[in-house]
Structure 1
Amino acid sequence: MRIPRIYHPEPIVPGHELALCEDAANHVGRVLRMGPGQALHLFDGSNQVFDAEITHADKKSVRVTVLKGEVADRESPLHLHLGQVMSRGEKMEFTIQKSIELGVNTITPLFSERCGVKLDAERLNKKIQQWQKIAIAACEQCGRNRVPEIRPAMDLEAWCAEQDEGLKLNLHPRAAHSINTLPLPVERVRLLIGPEGGLSADEIAMTARYHFTDILLGPRVLRTETTALTAITALQVRFGDLG
């Protein structure tokens, strides 16, 4: 049986006993139905993985003893910041989950002219918290020991205007460049993915003012969630650790 990987939001110290957070305890104790003596792998975002053993488990709490830890670096050499115009329902959750499996380091949800998501501040904050939990679960599944940040949602132009030393890319169906024609080497990329209806002409012109390079993925029109994952995969193959 594969040993479950569990995220702990505080620094982990070998030789100490600790209580798992509520979400983790519920997963270990109630979903997996694990008990004393069984093994877990813990990580705390420090790029280490820790061997641990359950010492107590019931429906409300789980305590473990941390046995040892070691660095387990599974991060790509390419630093990817995804700016994703928010999509409806499960599409955004899917994009977050899969992009993290593919190695994205930071995700910023964006509002644009054609963004189909309309949320008040309270509901949006809850969404951000939910998406961060999805990011943690994706790391637990794929083996990453650093948890990417889901940043607060912001306006498209404000995100484009942020200072960034990396290559800035915007997907455009009539672009002259492809990912394979981008010059090597590249260590940082800020990738913009628009909504289902695409960016408006004014928004595309705005990205050019902030020195974004338009790139083309291929001859077919892709849905926004497909576009994000295709672009991330192509970037990791060319500049990162896939392939």
Structure 2
Amino acid sequence: MTRFFVPDDQMRGDRVVLAGDDVHHAVRVLRMGAGHRFTAVGSDGSEYLVEIEQVDPGAAQLVARVVSRSRPDREPRLAVTVAQALIKGDKFDHVVEKATELGAAGFWPFAAARSVVRLDPARARHRVERWRRVAEAAARQSGRLRVPAVEPVLTFEQLLARAADWRSRHGPDSVVLAWEGESERGLYQLMQARWGPPSQRAPEPGRRDSLLVIVGPEGGFAPGEAHALREAGASPVSLGRLILRTETAAPAILAMLLYHSGDLGRAPAT
């Protein structure tokens, strides 16, 4: 069923209001009219089954009646924020789309020394807005209850400060650095140390954990960047014998983490 994320000011008692692009998508693209139903997702994660009462041609808003409300528990209990270096073409779109489908909690784009893409402030704002649209579309498609936040583009120095703050708040091994130069510890060893074997861990109601995953650009981190991240508290890990493209690394890491934590790979009722 079609889903729309609706802000609080458009949830009005037993009525839900769509506005802006959502109206165009519902009426012009999907050809929805009176009697059609869709799912509205509130900012608190509640889902509302709603039914359109009337569609006025050319109207800027669409009003639907709430039929029922539910509060599913569908979001991962492991909240993984992805710090991804800027990469060329539409590869960053791919990272946002696939990581959102898998359950990413948010994204921190950042500029690394070897990032091919260089964005002035205006272009950076435009790209971030596009990535936010990509995240919302992917969240709709995958049945998410929230849209992952895409932060403004960070400098490398800002990333270091944020990584250090994250480490101080969430503890050892909470900042994961995917680095091809690491040869002693793999992601699996980090997961084992943090949670134990995957077969012994299932999602527990109310239990939450948070990780920050840092992925570099094409060509990897420049000399000194990985060292600086380690000094800021990041835990470098290898992803195995194979070399992954940068746009493949973040979704692959996310899938491995969420499988190990019990958020992926189990039947919904287990």
Name the structure 2 match of 1:31: 29
CA separation of 1:172/1:30 partners in 2, compared to 1, >3 Å: closer, same or farther?
same
Determine whether 1:15 maps to 2:14: yes
Residues 132 and 149, structure 1, Cα contact 8 Å, conserved in 2: yes
Code of the aligned partner of 1:69: R
Match of 1:207 among 194, 215, 229: 229
CA positional deviation for 1:158 = 1.5
CA positional deviation for 1:59 = 5.3
Unpaired stretches in structure 1, ≥5 consecutive residues: none
TM-score (norm 1): 0.93
Name the structure 2 match of 1:97: 97
Residues 114 and 199, structure 1, Cα contact 8 Å, conserved in 2: yes
Unpaired stretches in structure 2, ≥5 consecutive residues: 196-207, 266-270
Determine whether 1:187 maps to 2:209: yes
Q: Distance in 1 between matches of 2:247 and 2:131?
A: 15
Q: Deviations over 1:144-192 (max 9, x none)?
A: 1112111111112311222113311111123221122111239211100
1:64-213 alignment to 2 at 5 Å?
Answer: 64-162=64-162, 163-164=165-166, 165-166=169-170, 167-175=174-182, 176-182=184-190, 183-185=193-195, 187-213=209-235
Q: What SS does the aligned partner of 1:161 have?
A: helix
Code of the aligned partner of 2:78: L
Determine whether 1:232 maps to 2:254: yes
TM-score (norm 2): 0.84
1:215-230 alignment to 2 at 5 Å?
Answer: 215-230=237-252
CA positional deviation for 1:45 = 2.5
CA RMSD of aligned residues (A): 1.7
Residues 53 and 65, structure 1, Cα contact 8 Å, conserved in 2: yes
CA positional deviation for 1:10 = 2.8
Question: What is the aligned residue count?
Answer: 240
